[in-house]
Amino acid sequence: MKTAACHLTATGAIISMLAWGPAIAQDHSHHQMTPEQFAELRQKVPLYQEYSDEQIIANMQRMGPNFREYLSDSGLSNNIGVLALGHGYKPDGNAKFAAAFKPTADKYPTAMALGMAMMTSEHVQTAIDDLTAAGAETILVLPVTTLRDGGLTGQWRYIFDVQEEAPWMSVPQVQSDARIVMTPTPTTNPKISAILLDNAKHYSDNPASEVVALVAHGPDNDAANQLELNILADHATFIKEQGRFADAQGFTLQDDAPSAVRAANVQRLRDWVRQATDRKQRVIVLTTLLFEGAVHDKIRRDLAGLDYELVIEGVLDNPLFSTWIDDQIAAAAN
């Protein structure tokens, strides 16, 4: 189905817990991939066309596990439940992600399902089952990413039967008697512009002589990447005008695109930073990421030898993000 709210009707089987105990289900299916699965991933992920089977497995292992965690007290019951979907982060990032939903978890049965879901949807299904067991008849699914049309958002949409084709593996789709409502990502929400501006201003000394490079992960698909650049341009315009910076511009790295594509994007970013410093402007490099993580490390390597200030605070580190959560729940619950 193609609408933002999808109703799934079938009986959801309870999926067994794996090694991390009753609160977490984890997946290691990439350890037993078939030749057909390797072929499907190479067909759908351009970067994997350059990789051997062993390199694909190693890349997927670096993404971290898929897991779910139930965030509410076991005695809480409500006919509305909340599922937060996220990429998966380092342990401190996972803890921050959970903490952002703590106020919600005190009011509604709330779970989070983290991970790329490239090979499995078990952690998502288990989270849905947890919420229905707590009495949820309507489940609000919040895809927490600032990438609007990347592979991860498409995979989530496929898992919830909002789009027809999986951008990665064709994993099982969620089955539930509950009414499932999938909300938009926060990508174009005005609160994200405000958060990005706030994060940039924390690193600013004299905005009239400073420029801001707004850097995003970026999808590998050309059309989706152009859409992402258009969204970044809107955020950059807001940052420049409201922050009174000399300039602001958006860039995507396209980490999952073929290496030559990413290299060209990095070169464009390096050229822009170098030209700004040649003009005696101070460069602030700001990302749309939720937390400091591996992409920040990549940016440091990408911009080695250049003069700039990297903002390490992410979107979810900002207190304004909790108001986006409240807004989504209020809108979707009505």
Answer yes or no: do 21 and 167 share one domain: yes
Sole residue written with tokens 């490239």: 118
Answer yes or no: do 19 and 159 share one domain: yes
Taking the C-alpha atoms of residue 102 and residue 88, their distance in angstroms, rounded to an integer, is 17
Answer yes or no: do 225 and 264 share one domain: yes
Taking the C-alpha atoms of residue 252 and residue 69, their distance in angstroms, rounded to an integer, is 31
Q: Which of 165, 181, 198, 162 is nearest to 83 (CA)?
A: 181
Answer yes or no: do 11 and 132 share one domain: yes
User: Does any domain span residue 175?
Assistant: yes
pTM confidence score: 0.80
User: Does any domain span residue 56?
Assistant: no
User: pLDDT for 250-306, tens place per residue?
Assistant: 999 998 788 899 999 999 999 999 999 999 999 999 999 988 888 899 999 999 999
SS3 (DSSP) at 186: coil
Please check the confidence at residue 29 and state whether its pLDDT lies above 90.
Answer: no
Number of domains the chain contains: 2
Which residues span the domain enclosing 128?
Answer: 5-27+65-184
| Residue 32 confidence (pLDDT) | 73
Answer yes or no: do 206 and 279 share one domain: yes
User: Does any domain span residue 136?
Assistant: yes
Number of Cβ within 10 Å of residue 322's Cβ equals: 17
Answer yes or no: do 178 and 247 share one domain: no
User: Does any domain span residue 48?
Assistant: no
Residue 279 maps to which CATH number?
3.40.50
Please check the confidence at residue 130 and state whether its pLDDT lies above 80.
Answer: yes
Answer yes or no: do 254 and 128 share one domain: no
Please check the confidence at residue 63 and state whether its pLDDT lies above 50.
Answer: yes
Which distant-in-sequence residues (6+ apart) come within 8 Å of 241 by Cβ? Answer: none
Phi, psi (rounded to 5 degrees) for 320: -60, -25
User: pLDDT for 217-228, tens place per residue?
Assistant: 888 888 889 999
User: Does any domain span residue 274?
Assistant: yes
Average pLDDT, the chain: 86
Taking the C-alpha atoms of residue 81 and residue 255, their distance in angstroms, rounded to an integer, is 34
| Residue 334 confidence (pLDDT) | 67
User: Does any domain span residue 34?
Assistant: no
Answer yes or no: do 203 and 223 share one domain: yes
